[in-house]
Structure 1
């Protein structure tokens, strides 16, 4: 007697649901930690003002499209490296290094758990400060982080009661994902290209 594979069972169940279904969720949350923090060297002109390891609990959702539409949800508990910097003129620069989590095995789907966290919470972590609101992120060109060119997005946020413009970029770095968020002004560009990481 041949037992059905998990994948065959999932597809069969989804097909039974007339083209729309939910993949079975894992009973236990995925627990993962980032391997090494991304950092900004002193030569960048910024000083380290906060560092910590933060635990983030979230639910990552993955949608699949095709003959059958499927949705997979997975609870994740991730340990994230936080590094926060400040320049002499008050500009802030935050780095969050999170584990890239495999949420589905077949086909393999890997996600940055921070993409499932509310923008206000992510900015608060990156800036290590209270954040009241964050506007919608909009694409504004590209930047290079850890040798990878990626999309740059910008938004406006209220940090400690003060409205500031922000720039954000994200890249994969080995088994981790790195998010960099900086306050921006006309005086100087954020030091995205100066970020390093020992893996």
Structure 2
């Protein structure tokens, strides 16, 4: 039998103490990199206008519920694949591939670090633009990304000085999470279903 890990011991002790509501943070941040970028094929009408591998520093929070409610916070340094595309009409389509990090010693508990990053920064990374503010995201139907159908979210943002409608979907892809964000005119559907990934 494998000896319990420090995190497992902390979880067990915390669950036994009704007064203990927060798990201590790890002293060292998790460092992780995405394994392969999500991309649009060259046959797409969109052209690649920016690509980078930015490093994101954030704090991921996981809440546990049961007999005792517990919270675990972990600093994460994640290297993300960024791909930004533009259509002939000037619409932007961005793909951010981030490592799905295991925050605690439970294999099924993994988190996309981009969910802990400010919305304006995520939209700026995805569009390559100057983002002033982003409204609250709201459900807006469904869409398919990398073969997975999921909920599509809609918002508006001040992008490069003008208000733009946005559409966003996010899926797990192997050891990574992929976030796709598009400026979305009413007369055209974003190319979510055209996205590919070599992994």
TM-score bucket of the superposed structures, by smaller chain: over 0.9
Distance 1:150 1:182 in 2: 15
> Is 2:67 the counterpart of 1:73?
no
SS where residue 62 of structure 1 aligns? strand
The residue that corresponds to 1:43 in the other structure is 43
Runs of 4+ in 1 over 6 A off after TM superposition: none
How many residue pairs get aligned? The number is: 196
Distance 1:4 1:111 in 2: 23
The residue that corresponds to 1:112 in the other structure is 112
The residue that corresponds to 1:167 in the other structure is 167
Distance 1:180 1:90 in 2: 17
The residue that corresponds to 1:95 in the other structure is 95
Distance 2:190 2:4 in 1: 53
Kindly state the Cα deviation for residue 184 of structure 1 after the two structures are TM-superposed: 0.6
The residue that corresponds to 2:17 in the other structure is 16
- Please report the RMSD computed on the Cα atoms of aligned residues, expressed in angstroms: 1.5
Segments of structure 1 that go 5 or more residues without pairing to the other structure are: none
Q: Is the 8 A contact 2:140 2:153 kept in 1?
A: yes
Kindly state the Cα deviation for residue 4 of structure 1 after the two structures are TM-superposed: 7.4
Q: TM-score, normalised by structure 1?
A: 0.94
More strand by share: 1
Q: Is the 8 A contact 1:14 1:22 kept in 2?
A: no
Distance 1:174 1:9 in 2: 29
Deviation per CA, 1:62-89, whole angstroms, max 9, x where unpaired? 0001101000000000000000000001
The residue that corresponds to 1:194 in the other structure is 194
The residue that corresponds to 1:180 in the other structure is 180
SS where residue 190 of structure 2 aligns? coil
Q: TM-score, normalised by structure 2?
A: 0.94
Deviation per CA, 1:81-115, whole angstroms, max 9, x where unpaired? 00000000111100000000000113641000000
Q: Is the 8 A contact 1:10 1:24 kept in 2?
A: no
Distance 2:123 2:106 in 1: 33
Deviation per CA, 1:127-172, whole angstroms, max 9, x where unpaired? 0111000000000111000000011000000001110000000000
Distance 1:156 1:9 in 2: 42
Segments of structure 2 that go 5 or more residues without pairing to the other structure are: none
